[in-house]
């Protein structure tokens, strides 16, 4: 990796480390989202506070930062001789930053919104396919974590047809799916035991989405 590529990757990680659940909650005078519900700094948990605007802003912020990290590398990378490989590395870096943010003790969210933002940077059609899957499952089953897991598992399949198996983005989508599923391991346990909370529900434990 060149010095310039490394700089873009570090910048992407730092962008990802901006936890909008915490930032928005603090700006709106709300409790730290890591202190209630599932303890997860993400839009789903912020929604448990009853503040829909805060949840929407968190979702938007986390999604936009994923797109920004990819877009910046795509826009400015070529003038430094950087191509799709650097874009793919920045995409993974912003997601890792969201999950393990340096600014918040390496305790971050589960990466769903940021992953969608990254996919938008790769291909609008890829992001649309993943988002449509999440929305459909969420509408039918009303379980955020299950919606995210199904959408993530299917994303590499969509990528195979949309960007092609030879694209570095296809490989990135596989890694993204693995990372997001890994971050949802506690939700998998609750899903298997029938204890997972539904969207908008209030949780008193620390393992839900």
Angle between helices 112-122 and 124-141 (to 10 degrees): 150
DSSP, res 104:
G
**What's the CA gap between 144 and 160, in Å, rounded?**
25
CA-nearest of 85, 109, 88 to 97 is 109
User: How much is the pTM?
Assistant: 0.90
Q: What is the pLDDT of residues 50-85, one digit of tens each?
A: 889 999 999 999 999 999 999 999 999 999 999 999
Q: What pLDDT is stored for residue 199 in this prediction?
A: 65
**What's the CA gap between 44 and 187, in Å, rounded?**
13
Q: What is the pLDDT of residues 129-152, one digit of tens each?
A: 999 999 999 899 888 889 999 999
Q: What is the pLDDT of residues 185-205, one digit of tens each?
A: 988 888 888 877 776 555 444
Q: What pLDDT is stored for residue 206 in this prediction?
A: 44
DSSP, res 40:
-
Q: What pLDDT is stored for residue 50 in this prediction?
A: 84
């Amino acid at each position: 990796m060149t010095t310039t590529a490394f700089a873009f990757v570090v910048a992407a990680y730092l962008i990802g480390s901006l936890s909008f659940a915490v930032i928005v909650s603090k700006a709106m005078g709300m409790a730290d989202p890591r202190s209630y519900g599932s303890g997860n700094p993400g839009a789903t948990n912020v929604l448990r506070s009853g503040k829909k605007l805060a949840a929407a802003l968190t979702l938007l912020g986390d999604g936009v930062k994923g797109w920004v990290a990819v877009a910046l590398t795509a826009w400015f990378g070529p003038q430094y001789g950087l191509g799709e490989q650097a874009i793919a590395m920045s995409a993974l870096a912003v997601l890792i930053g969201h999950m393990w943010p340096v600014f918040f003790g390496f305790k971050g969210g589960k990466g769903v919104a940021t992953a969608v933002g990254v996919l938008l940077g790769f291909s609008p059609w890829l992001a649309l396919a993943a988002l449509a899957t999440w929305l459909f499952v969420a509408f039918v089953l009303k379980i955020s974590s299950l919606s995210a897991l199904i959408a993530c598992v299917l994303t590499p399949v969509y990528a195979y047809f949309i960007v092609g198996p030879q694209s570095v983005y296809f490989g990135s989508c596989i890694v993204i799916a693995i990372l997001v599923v890994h971050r949802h391991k506690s939700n998998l346990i609750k899903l298997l035991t029938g204890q997972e909370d539904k969207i908008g529900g209030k949780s008193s434990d620390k393992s839900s989405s």
